[in-house]
Amino acid sequence: MEKKIDAYNNILELIGNTPLIKLNTITKEIPGDFYAKVEAFNPGHSTKDRIALHILEEAERAGILKPGDTIIETTSGNTGFSIAMVSIIKGYECVLAVSSKSSKDKIDMLRSMGAKVFVCPAHVSADDPRSYYQVAKRMHEEIKGSVYINQYFNELNINAHFVTTGPEIWEQTKGQITHLVACSGTGGTISGTAKFLKEQNPNIRILGVDAFGSVLKKYHETREFDSNEIYPYRIEGLGKNLIPTATDFDMIDKFTKVSDEESAHTAREISKTEGIFVGYTSGAAMQAVKQLAAEGEFDENSKVVVIFPDHGSRYMSKIYCDHWMNEQGFYDSKHSEAAQKIEY
Ligand code: PMP
């Protein structure tokens, strides 16, 4: 009799069920136990695999999609990669409208995954017909049977985390989680995960992470959009200059803002101390933990889950490049030891 080969049917079966890894060194001085939910273990190396799979499978269930149809989105980041990956296996065309600000590496990576990439001018307003929003919208209208993911305004983004990330964390912590710390970009991760966790235990503290230069924290506190909060910053995927409907602000107890500089150093510190090679926003989340600890958020009974959204390999020419760090002015007197090591 033939023995059954122990193999996955395709790469999509590996999405989700990411590990929770105890942090042992970086949190040594902070009371409580800290665990990272390491989303780089998804096959597309980020948390966005979850929403790409969920949104496309919901569209299939609703009868909206059939093989050969086209998926459209406006991102050069993790979501683009995940949609491209899911589209390959499910037989869809993947069309991504990206900003000309996107690095050549990112565009090449998406094309390597079979995506059709339209590069649109970065410095035009969102309602300009040349902007990537308008290009995506137009293609969606013109291409019959196309689906526009529109992650910032898609309820299914929240739902993807309500049905996967939330239950996984509850199960992995055996219901003992006291705090969740998560970055907010579209807000899908924090909102969906929090919704599930709060249904199990409304006392779990949900702590959002925002960037200086983004409107989310102020909006959470005042429910008013304050354009004075907006200015350029470097962390990609964190914060926003608009209010996404994929963020359920009522689920979040508090937002903490973090800086580009401290987040970059903290990401490097996680890699060096825990051996987990993380992306920029993982550094942002951990930086928020440090700031929250200084405010007395945690005690010895705290069991804190911190979401690490993606992998460090996507940031080799940024936070893991000493030259880039130096160019940003991120080596000051505080980090002078690192600065001295640069040889150029
Ligand atoms: N980190 C990274 C690297 C991301 O790409 C994103 C998504 N924009 C986030 C964090 C935030 O996740 P969410 O969009 O679910 O709020």
Identify which of 37, 38, 189 to mutate to test ligand 1's pocket (most ligand atoms within 8 A of the CB).
189
Q: What is the mean pLDDT of the chain?
A: 94
**Out of 3, 37, 48, 217, which one is annotated catalytic?**
48
Identify which of 54, 106, 161, 186 to mutate to test ligand 1's pocket (most ligand atoms within 8 A of the CB).
186
pTM of the model: 0.95
214 lines ligand 1 (CB under 6 A): no
Per-residue pLDDT for 332 more than 70?
no
Annotation marks residue 137 as catalytic: no
Q: Among residues 294, 149, 297, 152, which one has the least CA distance to residue 215?
A: 152
Spell out a b/e string for 164-183, using b for 16 or more CB atoms within 10 Å of the CB, else e.
bbbbbbbebbeeebbbbbbb
**Residue 157 CA, closest ligand 1 atom number:** 15
In the chain the domains, ranked by start, together with CATH numbers, are 11-46+155-328 (3.40.50.1100), 47-148 (3.40.50.1100)
Per-residue pLDDT for 106 more than 80?
yes
Q: Terminal CA-to-CA distance of the chain, rounded, Å? A: 63
Q: Among residues 228, 217, 231, which one has the least CA distance to residue 291?
A: 217
Other beta carbons within 10 angstroms of residue 118's beta carbon come to: 15
CA–CA distances in Å: residue 76 to residues 104, 107, 192 = 10, 7, 23
Name the token pair of 195. Answer: 């919704």
Give the tens place of pLDDT for each residue, 288-322.
Answer: 999 999 999 999 999 999 999 999 999 999 999 99
Give the tens place of pLDDT for each residue, 110-165.
Answer: 999 999 999 998 788 878 999 888 999 999 999 988 999 999 999 999 999 999 99
Residue 119 to residue 15: CA distance in whole angstroms = 29
Q: Among residues 307, 179, 194, 309, which one has the least CA distance to residue 246?
A: 194
Give the tens place of pLDDT for each residue, 55-67.
Answer: 999 999 999 998 8
ipTM of this complex: 0.99
Amino acid symbol at 169:
I
Name the token pair of 194. Answer: 């929090």
pLDDT value of position 155 = 97
Is residue 134 within 8 A of residue 142, CB to CB? The reply is no
